[in-house]
Structure 1
Amino acid sequence: MTDLDTYWRDLVTAAMLGTDRRDPPVPPDGPIADLVDDALRPDPGSRMLATVAAVAAARRAAFVPGPSADTLQPPEADDRPMCSPSAAATWRQIVSEWSVLEDEWMLAVIERGLRLSPDVLVEALARHRSDGVRRARVMLAGGAVARWLVGHVPELSATSSRRVAAAAVGELPALPMPPELDQLRSLDAHTVARRLAGGFEDGRFGGPDRAVLVNLVARCRPAVLVEVAAALQGTGVGHALALADLARLRHRMLTELE
């Protein structure tokens, strides 16, 4: 410990006790003592303030910089085009309103040779820390930047190191639906739209059918979505209107990623 450090400790002790109980310690001979004397402070409190200012400046000036940190290396280059801002906004709408579409959105990004924008990448990594299959898709869609982020931000790392099957990562998961709805997935747009709208209009479809109807709209052929959305919208039925919204969102999602 240097003389300056010792004096600083004495100065702190005096300051804690107060100058009405103890006068400031006399600074050691040298520039600090000269500076305090030159200040011509009339009372102990003023001399204390002048001394503290002088010693604090001297202690800061005496610090020696530590060794320089290693330069942070950027991630490897990724030549894939980034998904558009509108596609990123659609992803946010999907995860907040219709998460049933997220798997298809992420696979479409991968299959069409796109990469995630940084904002979506960070949110998706955080969202899927514990889901191995979905996280693997995010890592593929994020590429080198995803690996770089995970290596530098522990909060974005996976909660499990268990490996997942490549087939599960690359395939759109099947969604349960009864056979009579499953067969609609292979029919033309007019037939699908007519049967769905008719089911709501004649009361065959209701609240209990919502989950399987959502699955149907999420897995039907993309070519039927526009006509299905229009037909469902025309029924004016609450559940049908929600499905129409899902159909429009899915159509927009796929169009933006083309």
Structure 2
Amino acid sequence: MNTGSPHPPSPAWEDLVTAALLGTDRRTPPGTPPGRNAPSALLDAAAAETVRRRAGLRPGPAAPRPRPAPEDPRPPLPTAAARRLALLLADRPGTAQGGRRGTAPDLIELLPQWLTAVNDRGFAAPPESLPALLDAARARTDLRPAALRFAGPRAPWLARLNPDWRFALRASPGGGMALPGPEETRRVERLWQEGLFAERVSLLAAIRSRDPDAARELLEATWSTERAEDRLMFLDSLRTGLGPRDEPFLEQALADRSRNVRATAAELLSALPQSALAARMAVRAGACVAVDHTVDTPTLLVEAPHECDAAMERDGVSAKPPSGRGERSWWLGQLVEAAPLAGWSARLGRRTPEQIVALPVADDWLGELHAAWCRAAVRQRDADWSRALLGPPSAPGAGGPGAVSLAERAKLLGALPSAERAEWVAGFIAAHGLSEAFQLLGVCAVPWAAPLGRSVVDALNIARDAGSYPWSFSGVMGLAERCLDPSEAARLDALLAVPDEPEDASPGAGGYWAEAFQRLCRTLRLRAAMTAELDVRDAGPCGA
């Protein structure tokens, strides 16, 4: 049976290949004299032989035509925005000569923000942009969720035609099929019982977002037959909509065969302040910390556990500390982290979180105790304790009241309202400058609130006047390009000229700063134009 495959290479073809590999100086094709014309004669012979071989092939069976791409019911992208998308996708990251970025905006870094904005408005992607969009998502995994949402139902259809885009199939439950609705109980049960792991995770997450109890009951039905690594992923999905009704199931998971599953169940239960596990941890942690009133200044006394018993291990306490950590401090940290923060006031003399954090701690336990309270505040998203542990933004840059690290401060800020978070970081920058602020800026809502934006621009201006090189602040400058409110562009006009350099300034720093501010200003105005393009409705076809 003829399959349409090429014939085996003929002797003439093999001679031509050999001549090409060896070179015409060493071997010439049959019937061709050596000399200057040999290379051209070789190419002519190869072309003629290629035509002859192709003419002798029989056509293979016709492949079935692909089914039509699904329709995208969303409104088309405005014409100007479609053109902007083409420019964003055509940009490629690169380094300018000498490491200088110049004054042109970095378009590829604006693509994530543009995708967020277009998805918020519910537009459909222009069909002609989909290949480039999927290529960009293939190269940058951080783009994939937003890019696939924008690409819509045509992304998995295209992924079946190009294996380079197979990630779109993995990210789309059912290979692009819509998830079953809440009333489609048979489809839900079938996909849960027979679907691929990624499909089941997506299904469980979707059900959990709309009906937490139904998702938990679905998981309970097959829990005993799931693999340990799958149980861990499924259990993690319960973070969404976590509530008291999940407690009985999580209590059962404390006896799971997998240590990681037990630890995750204990973490989830400790985030429920009214759970039985939280109460048990509160008793254990309370027995370790007390106020000493026998000294002139009330002081916290810490008596770390002397053993990790079976009951503690069942409740998620890991008995073996990591390398370099003492056992008792390791156990103490886990107990305090899992105890409800609301209970410490009653146990420590009706003091507020600020008063508790301000108390001195005996025997060098302050760092360990405050670090555990930090983790508890982040896990329980307790704003009062987060404020107390953060302390004022003018506190030393390396720590708050209990030498809280910058990384811990960044996590604590996440428990505060957006406006308060921005105000605190603005105060921190005013007190300490930008050198330690990068982590803190990363947790602030975009676009930055006006006080925060002004503090960043003022700090950059101070650094420029000091004669520092701008690449010392390149990370903050890159964040500013993406996060400053575009309305701040007008305030930058005074910073665009090359400044007079002080005598002790780094040579050429003024020119570098002028470029950096010009790029920042141009980027902000470009972002404003991009937003305006998305808000203009037109009647023409998108991308026209």
Task: Compute the TM-score of the two structures, normalised by the length of structure 1.
Answer: 0.51
2:137 aligned partner: 124
Sort the Cα spacing of 1:210 and 1:61 in 2 relative to 1 into closer, same or farther, 3 A: closer
**Within the alignment, does 1:212 sit opposite 2:440 as a pair?**
yes
**Within the alignment, does 1:76 sit opposite 2:70 as a pair?**
yes
Show CA shifts across 1:75-101 (max 9, x none). 223243235343565687889658xx9
Deviation of 1:114 (Å): 1.6
Deviation of 1:45 (Å): 4.1
Contact 2:138 2:144 in 1 (8 A): yes
Contact 2:428 2:437 in 1 (8 A): no
Distance 1:229 1:71 in 2: 55
Distance 1:106 1:127 in 2: 13
2:118 maps to a residue whose letter is V
SS state at 1:177 partner:
helix
Q: How is 1:69-148 mapped onto 2 (pairs within 5 angstroms)? A: 69-79=63-73, 80-82=75-77, 84-87=82-85, 97=109, 102=112, 106-116=115-125, 117-118=129-130, 119-128=132-141, 135-148=144-157
2:60 aligned partner: 66
Distance 1:124 1:195 in 2: 32
Distance 1:255 1:213 in 2: 23
**Within the alignment, does 1:157 sit opposite 2:157 as a pair?**
no
Q: Which has the higher helix share?
A: 1
**Within the alignment, does 1:177 sit opposite 2:177 as a pair?**
no
Distance 2:414 2:163 in 1: 44
Contact 1:88 1:120 in 2 (8 A): no
SS state at 1:207 partner:
coil
Show CA shifts across 1:12-51 (max 9, x none). 89999xxxxxxxxxxxxxxxxxxxxxxxxxxx948xx9xx
Distance 1:12 1:247 in 2: 62
**Within the alignment, does 1:233 sit opposite 2:457 as a pair?**
yes
1:200 aligned partner: 429
1:224 aligned partner: 449
Show CA shifts across 1:139-183 (max 9, x none). 332113211121111121139652332458xx9xx9983556864
2:480 aligned partner: 244
* Gaps in structure 1 of 5+ consecutive residues: 17-43
Contact 1:126 1:155 in 2 (8 A): no
Deviation of 1:212 (Å): 1.6
1:247 maps to a residue whose letter is C
2:511 aligned partner: none
Deviation of 1:243 (Å): 4.4
Task: Compute the TM-score of the two structures, normalised by the length of structure 2.
Answer: 0.28
Contact 1:200 1:206 in 2 (8 A): yes
Sort the Cα spacing of 1:66 and 1:210 in 2 relative to 1 into closer, same or farther, 3 A: same
1:244 maps to a residue whose letter is A
Contact 1:229 1:248 in 2 (8 A): yes
Contact 1:81 1:114 in 2 (8 A): yes
Sort the Cα spacing of 1:60 and 1:230 in 2 relative to 1 into closer, same or farther, 3 A: same
Number of residue pairs the alignment of both structures matches: 199
1:255 to 522, 526, 531: 531
Sort the Cα spacing of 1:108 and 1:68 in 2 relative to 1 into closer, same or farther, 3 A: same
Distance 1:69 1:95 in 2: 41
* Gaps in structure 2 of 5+ consecutive residues: 1-6, 18-29, 33-40, 92-104, 171-196, 210-236, 241-380, 382-406, 464-469, 487-523, 536-544
Show CA shifts across 1:68-124 (max 9, x none). 3434455223243235343565687889658xx94x654443331123442223311
Distance 1:15 1:108 in 2: 58
Deviation of 1:127 (Å): 2.9
Distance 2:52 2:88 in 1: 57
SS state at 1:232 partner:
helix
